[in-house]
Structure 1
Amino acid sequence: MTLYVYGLVAACFLGLGFVLQQDAAARAPVADVLSFRLLLDLVRVPRWLLGIASMVAGQLTSAFALMQGDLSTVEPLLATNLVFAMLFARRLSSQRLGWSGWAGVVLLSGGVTAFIVAGRPEGTDREAGPLRHWLVFGILAGIALVLVLIARHLELFKEPPLLATAAGALYGLQDALTRVVGGIYDSSGLTGVLMSWQGYTIVALAVIGLVLVQSAFEGGPLRMSLPSLTASEPLAGIACGIGFLGDSIRLTPGALAGEVTGLLAVVVGVFILGRHPVLPEGKQREIQETEAT
């Protein structure tokens, strides 16, 4: 039960953090997209700092969840951050959920439940060897890099989904390494963590992911980026959990059907909610149109 509480509390903090960050990032200079200057500009915005504080609280709480259970169980719970983002964004837009909003909520929450019930994810002590570890890591990092390279050749308003998907892949890797670091801390303490490459890689992934997310938030409305981010992070995390952390799920025909159905429901629910009018439109487009006239 503690695992689920931590997971949902983390999702709540993350949802609030994303809404506050996007509201601030939408006002940043266009020239700062995919640049660390973007963070230097945003650090002077109180609302953005509040959003970052909320996101950090969510990530710390998710780290506690990861120490309590399996990555393949925690990641679907974190995907519910979009539901909380909807609730907080409703305060900004004064929109009601309506039938499409409630349909998205049911699909997302029902999909998470279906995946956990059908798959019954559980951790084991049989972590994969270094080759498989680096293969999964390299594939996800490579996907993120390709998405960023493609986005750089697109117009600004077409970039957010690709950048957010890339950030989600990196955040999934970060979640996996967080669980690894938790194990290192349990066995070797803080000294072991400081001597490991995983801790420093977590920081690097967090910074790069933050730049990608803020660039996505700056390039368009929240509905263009948050669905991709919310869908890609748990998928990447589950891939890491099963790929090299030793997580296992049931593979009977009935269980596989339930798992696939649950994941599809999560993805569909995420995208339905992401396109709901309750999520605020970015202000960057309005600023550009005003300057053009």
Structure 2
Amino acid sequence: MIVWSVLVALAGAFCMALGSALQERDAVRAPGRSVAPVGFLVHLARRPRWVLGTVGAGAGVALHLVALSGAPLTIIQPIGVTGLLFAIVLSALFNRRRVRPNQIAAGAAVMVGLTGLLLLFPHSAQTPQMSTGTGLILTGSVLALGCAAYLGAHWLPPTPRVLLLATVGGVALGTTSALARVVAANTAADAAALLTWLTPLCVLIAVFGGLFQQNAYRTGHFAAAYATLLVVDPITGAGIGALLLGEGLPATPVAQLLATAAALLAIGGTVVLALARNRNPEAMQPASAEEPPAAKPDPAAAGTRASTTTTSGESR
């Protein structure tokens, strides 16, 4: 059973990476400013390849949940992190670029660091509880943070911009995971829990996180964006679990030190990916740039040239 769950988890990691790599291509090519507004998602939703990527990512999440039903979290969660290497290779393949050794090394560092974090944080089996007021404050805080980051991102070059956008996206998606965990756990005990205000808050913050995620892909630094999301999402979820859901932090000083070192390793690998000179070439030009319209002939000028030609011919 565990072997089967491991294979399912690997398939899920591949599907998530494939879906994200497909999304990147349309995110980079979409018209608009370097940091696009929410209408950007409406445009992407009309692109068949982006929709296919979304379906692939959703299938990856579903397979990951199936794998968790048959094997412990400590086995399945680290396997899900392997999607980063899948994503790096698939993105390079789709965009006809070479995968550099430093990208693989940095991706491996992110995977090792993130795996350490996932293993060191405690995982409570108790049903989490969150009031509507707490959910509103949490969601409002993330939205305020995101709006400030959205305004500031316009003034940043691509490398720091991808880290900022992907970080906010990861915070939003980590918050989504925490809210979804509360809703799902309570719905299992009482179906009426699905009808609370936490459900629309979960959907709202998920769409908000998706906007930042796609804008991060839009910078052309796909590997850095994907790595940042992989790191920030679980850290945010674990932080919310520890502070608001009573799930706790690493208990011993040694575990806390190891968790800090793992986080620094994952962050360091992410920074290396952001600095790598392997940016999607299609992101080098502003997406809103359009070819200048062909110059229309000026009738007056044409008439002047014709008159000049006729006069010249008569003089000869």
Amino-acid identity (%): 24
Going from structure 1 to structure 2, the CA distance change for 1:221 and 1:115 (only over 3 Å counts) comes to closer
SS of 1:109's equivalent in the other structure is helix
Q: Which residue is equivalent to 1:265?
A: 265
Call closer, same or farther: CA 1:280–1:113 in 2, change over 3 Å. Answer: same
Q: Partner of 1:283 in structure 2?
A: 282
Name the residue aligned to 2:61: 59
Change (3 A) 1:211 1:141: closer
TM-score (norm 2): 0.74
How many pairs align? 287
> Pairwise mapping of residues 15-94 of structure 1 onto structure 2 (< 5 A)?
15-31=17-33, 33-62=35-64, 78-92=80-94, 93-94=96-97
TM-score, normalisation: structure 1: 0.79
CA deviation map 1:40-97 (0-9, x unaligned): 3223322211111112223334555778899999877655432221121232335244
Is the Cα–Cα contact under 8 Å of residues 116 and 259 in structure 2 kept in the other structure?
yes
Residue 186 of structure 1 and its aligned partner are, at CA, apart by 0.8
Equivalent in the alignment of 2:98? 95
Residues 166-222 of structure 1, C-alpha deviations (whole Å, 9 max, x = no match)? 111110001111211211221113x431x1222222221222222222233334442
User: Residue 155 of structure 1: CA displacement?
Assistant: 5.6
Q: Aligned in 2, Cα 1:146/1:31: closer, same or farther, shift over 3 Å?
A: closer
Give the letter aligned to residue 243 of structure 1. Answer: L
CA–CA separation in structure 1 for the residues paired with 2:100 and 2:34: 34
In the superposition, relative to structure 1, how do residues 70 and 273 fare at CA in structure 2: closer, same or farther (>3 Å)?
farther
Check the 8 A contact 1:26/1:282 in 2, yes or no.
no
Return the letter of the residue paired with 2:126: D
- Deviation, 1:33, is 4.4
Quick one: structure 1 residues 203 and 139, their matched pair in 2 at CA, closer, same or farther if it must change by over 3 Å?
Answer: closer
CA-based RMSD of the aligned residues comes to 3.7
Superposed CA offset, 1:78-124 (max 9, x none) = 554322211212323352442x234224322322343344x252205
Partner Cα separation in structure 2 for residue 182 and residue 6 of structure 1: 22
The 2-side partners of 1:165 and 1:129 are apart by 24
In structure 2, distance between residues paired with 1:230 and 1:65: 18
For 1:123, the aligned partner's letter is S
For the pair shown, the structure with the greater C-alpha radius of gyration is 2
Q: Which runs of 5+ in 2 are unaligned?
A: 293-316
Point out where structure 1 has 5 or more consecutive residues left out of the alignment. none
Q: Which structure is higher in RCO with an 8 Å CA cutoff and minimum separation 6? A: 1
Tell me, yes or no, if structure 1 residue 237 matches structure 2 residue 237: yes
Q: How far 1:246 sits from its partner (Å)?
A: 2.4
1:23 CA displacement: 0.8
Report if the CA contact (8 A) 2:163-2:274 is conserved.
no
Moved more, 19-28 or 101-110: 101-110
